[in-house]
Structure 1
Amino acid sequence: MNDLVEGFGIDTDLLLNEVELRTFSGSRSVFPHSEVLTTNKCIEMTGVLCKLEEWRLEDRGGKQASGPAPYVTDRAILVIMLMLAREHKPLNETAIAEVMHRRLTDESREFLDLPHALPSSPLKPKGSEEKNWQNHAYNGFHRILNPMDPHPDTKGSRRRLLNNAERDAIRTARDLNTMRRRKERLDWFSQQFVQMTFTMQPRRLRRLQTKANISIDQTPVAVYTKRGHKDEFDPNERAERLVKEMDAAWYVKPGKKYVWGYAANFAVSTSNIPGQNAGFPITIRAFTLSVPNVEITGEAVRLGKQLVDAGHEPGRMTIDRGYPGGSDSDSNYTDDNDAFHKRVRELGFSRVFDYKRTELGKKPGGQNGSIYVEGEHLCPATPDDLVNASIRAQNLEIGEAEYRFLIEERSSYSLRNKETPDADGKVKKMCPALGPQAKIECPLRAIHPKSSQKAKPRVLKRNLPERLDNICCNTSATFVETDETLKFKQDLRYGSPEWQTTYTADRNMVEGVNGYIKDEGKENLGSAARRSAAGIAAQQVLVTMLVVSANMRKLQSFLKEESKTALQAIAKVGRRIRRRDQYGTYKRKWGPDRDFIELEGRDDPIDIRPLRT
């Protein structure tokens, strides 16, 4: 019988045998021992190995572990996972087992305490060697997750679909204290790895980043399940659904696209001088993973606190509209947004953020007769076209140039501080028409003799309030920080060129990093198939490895570009022009080209140089 080979003239001696077919793979290259040692140094810098043992001892109530020691150690699992992340390979038990089975040198095996062969399982004595390694990879990975898993009650149900009643029963029986403690451990684990990528930077780069100027954003992390992506969905609908990842939720992307998964919270470094080259690599400085639409502002505060606890001086925190009060279309947030601004201020960060449409214009918060507009206390006689400038710009009633002009003119009506605010935000303010530094002229105030003679905006009598309050009658008035004023306050004047430059530059940086870590040829954060593990703890650990890989790649690219620029500068200096040729004005304008001239009877041209004059 023709086996479809003989007719093609193929040498049958070249055919692969069954053993070769089973072991043939393109991912069998052996990791050099030097790479294992370097990766182990990174793991040691995090300090997580000792902490994992402490957490296990704490969970056992101080009792020693029983039973035989595991064949695969925490060190081996973490080293292999980080090497796979740097190699841009999938992070799953199969890939980890493949490395332990075939991709390590004998020296690396001895260093990581890995056996050359595993004993067969007593339950499956005829199981394949590959499957045996996969079982130990699975057990080793989940041994790391166990002390950090906020939802250990779902371990037995993560491989099947749960209905509404089953999910409600699990949530009702949960211990909130255990969840909180495990989440703190999980966030600490991630931050130690992220901080390690900062510590490995050269000192000259670290010193440029002592002040933490950060931009915060969320990005979806889809879970590995076919049930998850929808174009149309009503988040308020309580329908009977079968769900695999019960602790995940719908992440709303622009254009009403819904992704079933988690939300990665990134704090990305930004330039110390907005709009200028940072001079250091723009990396992810803090990271947590959370449920979409739950404690959004709380996660932002945690990111800032992680940096402060690491010893960084608080700088500015740039956030988008989703953080101060949620987007215009979503109302499913569970945060106390007033408390968010207070906690950020207590950490020491200044805030730069955009307002929702409903937050523009005059809002409650005015004191002593002033009006409160977009984070500023203004004169009560401020013209309406200035008060509503941002609203008109949002409605496209005015152009950008006119809007900038109105914002600049409105700044003249802003109340001036008479002294430095105290720790609680209490400060004395004065009328903008009072004193030698007056910015406007008001019929209620006499012009100071030392005031500038330049033309100033005039307050019209028809704009004066019917009842004059302290700011119009006294030389100063005391203003206190309230929840209404704090949630709209920011250090930069909203709509000003400084605010626009800072907000745009910082937001571009964080969006650029989001795109960087989603590169399909590298970390590919957007692909759930690269992170095929269930549970928020597993997903956060795997995304942490991707963040470390992206930060390392950023640092290496920065150092390479820095060296290239330095070599170009050295080469430019090496081609120094003679002083005589640099400053002289003489240029030869006669005869042929300067370099060579051909003569009859000679095959080779003569090199001609002009005589010195």
Structure 2
Amino acid sequence: MTVFVPPRIDRAAAAELAELTKDQSMREEVGHFTKFSLKDVKRADLQIRMSGVLTQLDEWVETDTTKTGPGGVDAYITARHVMIAFLLLAKETSPLLVVNARDVLAYRLPLKARRYLELPPAPKHLDDEQAAKNWYNNVYNALRRILARVDPYPTFQRRDFKWRAEREKLIAEYDRDLYRVRKDRLDWFSNQLLEMTWQTLSAEIRSRRTRTDMTVDQTPVASYSRRGKAKLDPKTQRERKDTPVMEPETSWYHMNAAYRGTDKGQRSDFINGFAGNMGVLSSFFEEEGDPIPQLIMTYSLSTPNKNVDIELVRLARSMLDRNHEPGIVAADRDYWAHKRIERLHVPMRKMGWLPLTDYRSNNLGPQQGTDAGELNLLGRHLCPGTPSHLVTVAQDAKNKRITEATFDKRIGELQSYSLRVKESFPDGREKKMCPAHGPQATVECGLRERIEDAKYTDPAQRERMRIKSEKWKPRVRRADEPEDPPSVCTQTSVTFKLKDGLKLAQPLQWGTKEWHKSYKATRNASEGFNAYAKDPGFSNLKESGDRRMRGIAAQQFLTTFQLVATNFRVIMAFMRAEKERAKHAAAGTTPVKPERKRDKTGRSTYTRPGFGLVDLVLEPEPEDPIDEFASLEAIPEYEDGHEHSDEDHDQGPPPK
């Protein structure tokens, strides 16, 4: 049996260590306590000043403050000092605690940096507890002065627990006009700092995209107080239990199934806190042109499960306020395919943003159309004579009743039956016409030919209407022609309002390979950034242990600096990749893009749906050719007032 003899203690080293510990000198070696250089401080100062938040903060102070006297002595610690301290902490991934910000300003700056910031002298001794306390109070008070200008709920005191009745009274009595002003200020503050990170890139990189495409999502941001509200009663909409809560504006964020614990009780399905609304810069296509860094461009905090659509509209409007050209906004099913069009789709479309989204199961079939009689399917206005096997293509793919090749073929054919835009108006209205009408027709239709033959009695005019492109086009089956032709079939064009079919409309045809490639690229950008920002080794956005302050204003203030630091890390990685691409370009070689492991193993959540092994839904048998103009049956009165007569019927088909 082996006997391990413990090593002998070096008594001299132990005595020397005990002597050094008396004055708390070990404090310099525990955690992040190294000195920041003057260059680090200048860089952080220039970044804060570049964002413009300090100037705007001074204007808010003047707006909110009524001077009644000459005022007191200027504060030693200002908003500029506090923001620089938190930005330095965020860059080195230290917890954003007030005590850490105090340590930065009191102990971690060299003499040249202190003179640059015009800070008071540092404490002479680390064991001077009174000096450390005074520095802490000054830093804390400076931070509270900042938050006082942007807190949407200034009447919420978060130092003690509040029972249900008290919380309901606070929420019922808070000033909603003041809330809107402070909410706008808070979001503006966050977005200006994020815009600063984008502006640090060179003009050449920023000009690689003429429009701004982004992907939006929500992510949980835990509050410092873990105790939340009780479950609501579905009838009374009041909490079932009278539980004490520290932060009335928080609520429970329901976690996605992918982030829950595997064992019951191992991890909660809910997090008490806030919903972080993020807009991440993304390329519409992953390989379109030269790459750009995927930065978070707009951000806000809100109460979970409240005003999700309004928060997205606010994010998009912030991008326009900063002169970004609107482009594509990719989002999951909880946004475009779920929310009311009056609150989300209409304001977004009026600003110029276009959606990219997936559909829910109940969106895969025909939706309610308009009086024009069109078929509203998969975000498109289609011909009412669209074949049934194309109408059910999405549902058949979901139920694995067709193969992938058949799905791709039928989705491609479906686009031929889309109504074609004839004219667009500034208010969002569009004139559309039958896909079988005009020289650029995409389908052939016997009903349309009979209607036009009856409408245009002049042989020369009728011949002009017969001129079509020679490209092959599918033909509407006689069995699919509507018995009572609607106005979309009988009129030259029909007018659709902005809201008609807007809920599911998107620029790319859902289900095509082009759509899937774009949706996967944008959603991966969003999920990838969220995971990077929530990484415990870096920003740790999800947990609140690194941000021990209460209230939505404090949490958004601190998380903004974490996201700014995350953007800078993304930019650094992007610039390293740029150098590698330049080396390959100089050598004439092509860099090999590594494939993600989840794509190799098929674990990506943005893959195409499973398909069947054989086709269970077959195409109808081809119809026997007949003379389409042998008879003209009841044709309704046309838009121009022309009525059909026996003479029209006797004219027969036009010459081939």
Same fold (TM over 0.5): yes
Give deviations 1:143-192, integer Å, cap 9, x for gaps. Answer: 111100101111x3x13222111111111220001111001111111111
Q: How far is 1:63 from its partner?
A: 5.7
| Aligned position for 1:514 | 530
Code of the aligned partner of 1:225? S
Q: What is the percentage of aligned positions where both structures have the same residue?
A: 35
Equivalent pair of 2:444/2:476 in contact (CA under 8 Å): yes
Tell me the residue number matched to 1:141: 143
1:80 deviates by: 0.7
The corresponding residue for 1:151 is 153
Q: Give the secondary structure class of the aligned counterpart of 1:483.
A: coil
Are 1:529 and 2:545 an aligned pair?
yes
User: Matches of residues 580-595 of structure 1 in structure 2 within 5 Å?
Assistant: none
In 1, are the aligned partners of 2:369 and 2:501 still within 8 Å (CA)?
A: yes
Please say which of residues 182-191 and 205-214 is displaced more in the overlay. 205-214
Q: CA deviation at 1:446?
A: 2.8
1:67 aligns with 2:103: no
Match of 2:306 among 294, 312, 318: 294
How much has 1:321 moved relative to structure 2? 1.0
What's the offset of the Cα at 1:536? 0.5
Q: Which moved more, 1:518-527 or 1:139-148?
A: 518-527
Q: Structure 1 pair 440/32, CA: closer, same or farther in 2 (3 Å)? A: same
Pairing partner for 1:411 from 408, 415, 423:
415
Q: Does 1:444 align with 2:447?
A: yes
What is the alpha-carbon distance in structure 2 between the residues aligned to residue 314 and residue 229 of structure 1? 39
Maintained 8 Å contact 1:265/1:290: yes
> Contact between 2:383 and 2:417, CA under 8 Å: does it hold in 1?
yes
**1:348-427 correspondence to structure 2 within 5 Å:** 348-417=352-421, 419-427=422-430
Q: 1:473 aligns with which of 485, 490, 501?
A: 490
Report if aligned partners of 1:275, 1:502 keep a CA contact under 8 Å in 2. no
Match of 2:322 in 1: 310
Deviations 1:11-68 (A, max 9, x none): 2532323534465342221111111011100011011112111111111146677332
One-letter amino acid matched to 2:63 = E
Structure 1 residues 306-361: Cα deviation after superposition (integer angstroms, max 9, x where no partner): 111111111111121111254xxxxxxxx744331111111111221222222221
Distance verdict in 2 for CA 1:395–1:240, change over 3 Å: farther
SS in 2 for 1:152: coil
What residue is the counterpart of 1:132 in the other structure? 134
C-alpha distance in structure 2 between counterparts of 1:262 and 1:39, whole Å: 28
1:138 alignment partner AA = Y
Uncovered stretches (5+) of structure 1, i.e. residues with no partner:
120-125, 327-334, 574-613
Other structure's SS at 1:70 match: coil
- Greater shift, 299-308 or 267-276, is seen at 267-276
Kindly report which structure 2 residues correspond to 1:245-264, keeping only aligned pairs within 5 A, or say none: 245-255=247-257, 257-264=269-276
8 Å contact kept, 1:375–1:485: yes
Distance in 1 of aligned mates of 2:469 and 2:62: 72
Change in Cα spacing, 1:65 to 1:566, as seen in structure 2 (3 Å) is farther
Could you tell me whether the CA contact under 8 Å between 2:280 and 2:297 is conserved in 1?
yes
How far residue 535 of structure 1 moved from its aligned partner, in angstroms, is 0.5
Whole-Å Cα distance in 2 between the matches of residues 214 and 409 of structure 1?
Answer: 30
Cα distance in 2 for partners of 1:241, 1:410 equals 55
Say if 1:28 and 1:482 are closer, same or farther in 2 by CA, change over 3 A.
Answer: closer
The structure-2 alpha-carbon separation of the partners of 1:128 and 1:22, relative to structure 1 and needing over 3 Å to count, comes to: farther
| Distance (Å, rounded) in 2 between the aligned partners of 1:116 and 1:372 | 72
The one-letter code of the counterpart of 2:530 is N
The alignment yields a C-alpha RMSD, in angstroms, of 2.8
Maintained 8 Å contact 1:364/1:484:
no
What TM-score do you get using the length of structure 1 for normalisation?
Answer: 0.84
Aligned to 1:603: none
How far has the Cα of 1:506 moved from its partner?
0.9
* Contact map agreement 1:118 1:132 (CA 8 A) in 2: no
After the TM superposition, which residues 165-564 of structure 1 pair with which residues of structure 2 at under 5 Å, given as runs? 165-227=165-227, 238-255=240-257, 257-271=269-283, 273-276=285-288, 278-326=290-338, 336-417=340-421, 419-446=422-449, 449-451=466-468, 456-474=473-491, 476-564=492-580
SS of 1:147's partner is coil
**8 A contact 2:487–2:494 mirrored in 1:** no
Alignment deviations for residues 563-585 of structure 1 (CA, whole Å, 9 cap, x no partner): 23324554679xxxxxxxxxxxx
Given residue 428 of structure 1, which amino acid in structure 2 is its aligned partner? K
Residue aligning to 2:627: none
* CA deviation string 1:439-495 (max 9, x = no partner): 333231339754356654332333222321222223x22222243422222121222
SS at match of 2:22: helix
Question: How many angstroms apart in 2 are the aligned matches of 1:561 and 1:482?
Answer: 43
Read off the aligned partner of 1:469 and give its amino acid letter: P
Contact 1:366 1:377 in 2 (8 A): no
User: AA paired with 2:62?
Assistant: L
Q: Which runs of 5+ in 2 are unaligned?
A: 1-5, 261-268, 451-464, 590-656
**TM-aligned CA distance change 1:392 to 1:314, over 3 Å:** same
Once the 2 structures are TM-superposed, how far is the Cα of residue 270 of structure 1 from its aligned partner? 1.2
* Aligned amino acid, residue 423 of structure 1: P
For residue 68 of structure 1, give the secondary structure of its aligned residue in structure 2: coil
The answer to whether the 8 A contact 2:220-2:274 is kept is yes
Question: 2:647 is matched with which residue?
Answer: none
Aligned-pair distance for 1:105?
Answer: 1.2
Which one-letter code corresponds to 2:296 in the other structure?
Answer: I
> Does 1:90 pair with 2:95?
yes
User: What secondary structure does 2:274 align onto?
Assistant: strand
Given that residues 271 and 277 in structure 1 are in contact (C-alpha distance below 8 angstroms), is that contact kept between their aligned partners in structure 2? no
SS of 2:252's partner is strand
Secondary structure of the corresponding residue to residue 344 of structure 2: helix
Aligned to 2:654: none
Give me the whole-angstrom Cα distance separating, in 2, the residues matched to 1:434 and 1:523: 58
Q: Aligned pair in 2 of structure 1 residues 208, 455: CA closer, same or farther (>3 Å)?
A: closer
Letter in 1 for 2:155: D
Query: Could you tell me which amino acid in structure 1 is paired with residue 413 of structure 2?
Result: E
Secondary structure at 1:420 match in 2: strand
Provide the TM-score with structure 2 as the length reference.
Answer: 0.78
For 1:91-130, list aligned pairs within 5 A.
91-117=96-122, 128-130=130-132
Distance of 1:555 and 1:307 partners within structure 2: 20
Q: Secondary structure at the match of 1:242?
A: coil
Q: Distance in 2 between matches of 1:59 and 1:92?
A: 27
Deviation (angstroms), 1:111: 2.2
Counting matched residue pairs gives 551
Letter in 2 for 1:376: R
- Alpha-carbon distance in 2 for matches of 1:515, 1:302: 23
Give, in whole Å, the separation in 2 of the partners of 1:358 and 1:88.
44
Label 1:299 to 1:82 Cα distance change in 2 as closer, same or farther (>3 A): same
How far apart, in 2, do the equivalents of 1:495 and 1:97 lie? 55
User: Which one of 39, 44, 51 corresponds to residue 49 of structure 2?
Assistant: 44
Q: 1: distance between equivalents of 2:587 and 2:485?
A: 71
Name the counterpart of 1:579. none
The higher-RCO structure (CA 8 Å, 6+ apart) is: 2
Kept in 1, the 8 Å contact 2:107–2:123? The answer is no
- Cα pair 1:229 1:259 within 8 Å, conserved: no
Rounded to whole Å, the distance in 1 between the matches of 2:584 and 2:399 is 50
Contact 1:233–1:258 (CA under 8 A) maintained in structure 2: no
Amino acid at match of 1:443: G
The alpha carbon displacement at 1:240 in A equals: 2.1
- Against the structure 1 CA distance between its residues 233 and 183, is the aligned structure 2 distance closer, same or farther, given a 3 Å change threshold? closer
Tell me the distance in 1 between the aligned counterparts of 2:484 and 2:22: 94
In the alignment, the residues of structure 2 paired with residue 209 and residue 342 of structure 1 have an alpha-carbon distance, to the nearest angstrom, of: 25
Is the 8 Å Cα contact of residues 90 and 531 (structure 1) preserved in structure 2?
A: yes
**Equivalent residues of 1:214, 1:316 under 8 A apart:** yes
Change (3 A) 1:295 1:309: same
- Paired residues of 2:427 and 2:498 also in contact (CA < 8 A): no
